[in-house]
Structure 1
Amino acid sequence: MTVQADVDLDLIVADIETLVTCESPSDDLDAVARSAEVVAALGERLLGAAPERIIIDGRTHLRWRFGTPQVLVLGHHDTVWPLGSLQSLPFRIDDGVLRGPGCFDMKTGVVMALHAVAALPDRTGVSILITGDEELGSPSSRQLIEQEAIGCAAVFVLEASADGGAVKIARKGVSLYRVHVTGRAAHAGLEPERGINAAVEAAHLLLAIALLGDPEAGTSVTPTLVRAGSTTNTVPAAAEFAVDVRVRTGAEQDRVDAALRAIPATLPGASVRVEGGANRRPLERESSARLFAQAVAITERRDLPPLQGVAVGGASDGNFTAALGVPTLDGLGAVGGGAHADDEHVVVAMIPERTLLLQELISLALAGGRA
């Protein structure tokens, strides 16, 4: 299959502006629905086909399928930016740098994906899935993503690149917990000895749970939001806190889970209940190794800048597909920086070569990995 080398940068930039100027905060169902319609119209213009509109729990996801899926191109059109962000952070291009809320994470990647697939002479075997709730942890789209990935030879995730344009060859897994402590209330001045202080019990647990981290293994176990008590003169009868766990390997994720659930209460009469668990399994290097090697070979053959691969702490929908055993390469989207921050930006000059790289990777995967 011959891949089209020419990329119409002006058209891509115009399409990015169209998406960026349609704000789409994840928690606003109407905004996400409006954004989905903008993405759908753009994709229909480029691909000559309307997407399926898949609405789950009020959230709109889009899917284009060309035959039986062999390659999944994955992205999301929701952002973290609230409505009105364009007033203080308008879309603009200064000195070759494109700015605007959501441009880097990841509306540029969505546009690149649609243009890359549109440039293929034969799209048979390609599925494009653009979800609308990734920034919330993909609560309604996870099953859809997993179902679409099963049976594919490759998944290409258009999340933004790491520093310097590096692709993401590994991502930490995430586990999220809420620990509930039950004690017994009593008057803090008259008879505190009759109470069982849930706040004190929580303090013991917080210290013990924090020690489950292993910096050398890349494992962080971080207690976060803490709540306890009802009034200042009452022994707290209840307390709760959240725990954020990040791991490089599935074995570490399982170790921390078992250890956290086994930590006993310290105060007599106190009880502990743990909710939650793995949100995303790690995207380990083995999942991306073959696709990354192909990407490096493409950049060398096309005389593109050398491509680096890095492991990152944040998770993405690529974690879901990698956990299924489907080869997954992430961070193929925009080159720039400032995700979720006021300095969010995209380097315009890098858009054509990244779009070309994606075209080549899809083509190679459709050909069974044979150049």
Structure 2
Amino acid sequence: MSYARTLRRILFWVAAIPLFLLLLALSIAGFVISTETGLNSLLSLAQRVLPGQLSYNQASGRLIGPLHIEQFHYEDGSLQVALANVDLDWRPAELFDFAVNVTRLHFSGLELSLPPSKKAPPSDEPFTLPNVQLPVAITVADLQGREIRIQPAGVDPIVVNAVDLKVRTQEDGVHIEVLQAQSPLGEVRLSGQVNPIGAYPLQLQLAWKAITPDYGTFDGQGEVSGTVRDQLKLTQRVTGSAVLDLTGEVQQALVEPDWSAQVKLNVADLKPFVPDLAGKPLNVQVDAKGVMARFEGKGEIKATAPEIGPATLRFTAAGDEKAVRLDALKLTATDHPLTLEAKGDFKKDEPSFNASCQWQSQI
């Protein structure tokens, strides 16, 4: 009897001790993620175990949200991160459904200095698109960043006044509701969908604004659609002191890009670009195609020159990264019975232009 009672006690403690340790661990974890004291304890632990130096001025809230941190700094060699303040709120309960839902992420005063990138060794293997399948669904309902400065190694810094993002991932890819950024040079807005699997199908709408000191403001709007691996189509319209319409197509972009482009440029008044031609228009039309750096194309330019008045220049050309061949060039003037025809070639390694010209009178 005494032996049976002793055995039951042993079995009880064998089962109770692991359960007690589990409950203790859960209690500690709950304390860390659900209290402000636990948050500060976790940050203090990070200061001791991280390889670099971490500091912050104030931290309030809970790890499960909402969370607020001021004057955050981290430095590890040439990598430096500084944040004036950051606010985070999310829904941790959705982790049980394999989802990360960030309802609010606001930050300002981000300064990021990046270490020099390591050069990858050259490879003869053809580049292939990786299949990116996230283990969890991600939703960012409201991301706002202000006063951002990114300093890559060895180049000028990237300054962004503001960035806003709303995005979610699903089985059919990444859905970008809005990605908007503003900088001293202008602003850009992107929306659409991309699926980082297989051929990488995508459909993206792009709108932007560029501010120039001499030529005013330019607004652009267009779309990119197709697949990154097989075929991409691009349309873009730019308005301002000049109007540009561009349509293009790229096939097999990762192997040997086969491309084509059609460009139309209209300038109602050349004064902002060439003051001596104030009040004069310019019309340009170019149709080109090629494979990688090899190209062939034709075009037409209509303009008004001070010496000859309204004129039309038509040309046909071809070339590659080493040379450009002008197969035909014809200049005609509306107010003068003269025609100029020319052809020639230009070699990049030999900075010279060989040409033959012929003037013809149409009287």
Structure having the larger proportion of residues in strand: 2
Please give the TM-score of this superposition, normalised by the length of structure 2: 0.22
Bigger helix share? 1
Structure showing greater radius of gyration is 2
TM-score under structure 1 normalisation? 0.22
